[in-house]
Amino acid sequence: MSGTTLCPHCGTRFKIGREQLDAHYGLVRCGNCHQAFDPLPDYVPEEIDPQLELPILDETQIAAPGISGSNTQSSGHVTDLLNTMQTRHDIIVSEPYEVEFLSKSNSRLWMIPVFPLLLLLIAQSTFLFRVELAAHIPQLKPWLIRYCKLLKCSVPLPQKASLISIESSELKDEPTQRNQIILVALLRNRAAYTQAYPNLELTLTDLQDNALARRIFKPEDYLATSRNIATGFPSNQELDINLRLDTTDLKPVGYRLALYY
């Protein structure tokens, strides 16, 4: 038994065989818009389903045998109805498109080559963004470290210098010691995650702002011995720095302090 089905994407109705639906048991592709869809929800059979309930007639409605007038009238009514149905049917199936049947097994065949490519993409993304992943999802860091052991890489702490600020700084003389100065500074990690400690660059200048001396201080130079460099600069925390420097005969007047990685 054949029938028609309606494409939910473009509204085109197609002629389709019931035996084809049973054989393919899956999706069909619209010949008009080329979109795949399930044809069963809008399937309409052409013939009257014999399982439909028929109305029960009273004895007065049943024509007596041999009375041809009643039979002719009923036959003519049925004929008109069938002609009307045939006319509607011709309108429905006049679309010049065909449908393409797809089995559920074939529709998943494209996943076979895509799956290894997807795994490769995930592996590459994990390698490239391992620092960001470890910073924002600390629970992943042990797994990322194991992953990097296979690739002979590391998972360092983030180094975003723009998110670390020098809140204040001061260069003052040591009153009890000649040719000694004290650098006092306050750093703050404004990031939402732990970062590596930055390097500090101190430049001593004269009256014309010319550089007299320059020195770079690594984290092990300015951190207290009680701090562990490997644990990093905690999020939204401040760090006090106090360094004593010997200037000999430089006699600096000003200074510049910067941080970087």
Tens of pLDDT, residue by residue over 66-114, are 433 334 343 444 444 444 444 443 333 444 445 454 555 555 666 667 7
Q: Which amino acid is at 182?
A: I
pTM of the model: 0.49
Q: What is the pLDDT averaged over residues 192-216?
A: 93
Site of tokens 């473009």: 10
Q: What is the pLDDT of residue 113?
A: 74
Q: What is the pLDDT of residue 23?
A: 57
pLDDT above 60 (res 51): no
Q: What is the pLDDT of residue 80?
A: 47
pLDDT above 60 (res 116): yes
Q: What is the pLDDT of residue 242?
A: 92
More confident residue, 255 or 61: 255
Q: What is the pLDDT of residue 1?
A: 57
- The pLDDT-based confidence of 24 (bands split at 50, 70, 90) is low
Q: How buried is residue 233: exposed, middle or buried, by Cβ count under 10 Å (0-12/13-18/19+)?
A: buried
CATH 2.60.40 positions along the chain are: 161-260
Q: What is the pLDDT averaged over residues 7-34?
A: 73
Q: What is the pLDDT of residue 234?
A: 94
pLDDT above 50 (res 38): yes
H-state helical runs in 93-186 = 104-107, 111-128, 130-136, 141-151
pLDDT above 70 (res 246): yes
Strand blocks (E) in 12-140: 13-17, 27-29, 36-37, 44-45, 100-102
pLDDT above 90 (res 131): no
Q: How many CB atoms lie under 10 A from the CB of residue 44?
A: 12
Say if residues 129 and 167 touch (Cβ distance below 8 Å).
no
| CATH label, 161-260, candidates 2.60.40, 2.50.20, 1.10.3470, 2.60.120 | 2.60.40
Mean pLDDT of all residues in the chain? 75
**Backbone CA torsion sign across 100, 106, 111, 112:** negative
Q: Which of 96-105, 112-121, 220-229 has the highest mean pLDDT?
A: 220-229
Q: What is the pLDDT averaged over residues 5-25?
A: 73
